[in-house]
Copies of this chain bind each other. A is one copy, B any other.
């Protein structure tokens, strides 16, 4: 049984990690869909798909399970979203999400969805991590060590701070 879990992972943090841990107890294999794959260098989406693939892959290595980290580009067309995800990812049996839109789309397509109270916190935690990165707070304790290494390797804090200045000022 293969489980599917989609998120933006900007960055992959401990909230995501707890979710994966829960899915791993449920499924034999896990597919992490890296959504908004074409977005990067913004306050809300600072890291490229490739950088997020590295974060996710290194972080889930500690679980003894076959995992796939797959970038999913936005087609901006909800009616074909499920088909698109199914074509980009290894075939999966169950999707894990608390997002009402995602749940509805999977339900209309006849795909089983499992929800978890844990999911709601991932949105808030992602914004919190990015805010601490910008403000110089303690972001490292909110993400797995492997992610700390990657963020530092790609000069991620500096990038996030620079591009968030644009969001504050508008643009030329």
List residues of chain A with CB under 8 Å of any chain B CB. Answer: 6-8, 37-42, 48-51, 53-54, 57, 61, 66, 68-71, 73, 75-80, 82-84, 86-91, 97-105, 108, 119-120, 122-123, 154, 159, 162-166, 169-172
**Contact between chains at B89 and A123 (CB < 8 Å):** no
> Within the complex, what minimum Cβ distance (angstroms) separates A58 from chain B?
8
Contacting A99 at CB < 8 Å: which of B69, B86, B102, B171?
B171
> Within the complex, what minimum Cβ distance (angstroms) separates A99 from chain B?
5
Q: List 30 A-B contacts (CB under 8 A).
A: A37-B88, A38-B76, A39-B78, A41-B105, A48-B79, A48-B88, A50-B91, A51-B91, A53-B70, A53-B90, A57-B66, A57-B68, A61-B66, A70-B70, A77-B87, A79-B83, A79-B84, A79-B86, A80-B80, A80-B83, A91-B154, A100-B164, A100-B165, A100-B169, A101-B162, A104-B159, A104-B163, A120-B169, A123-B171, A123-B172
**Beta-carbon nearest neighbor of A19 in chain B:** B172
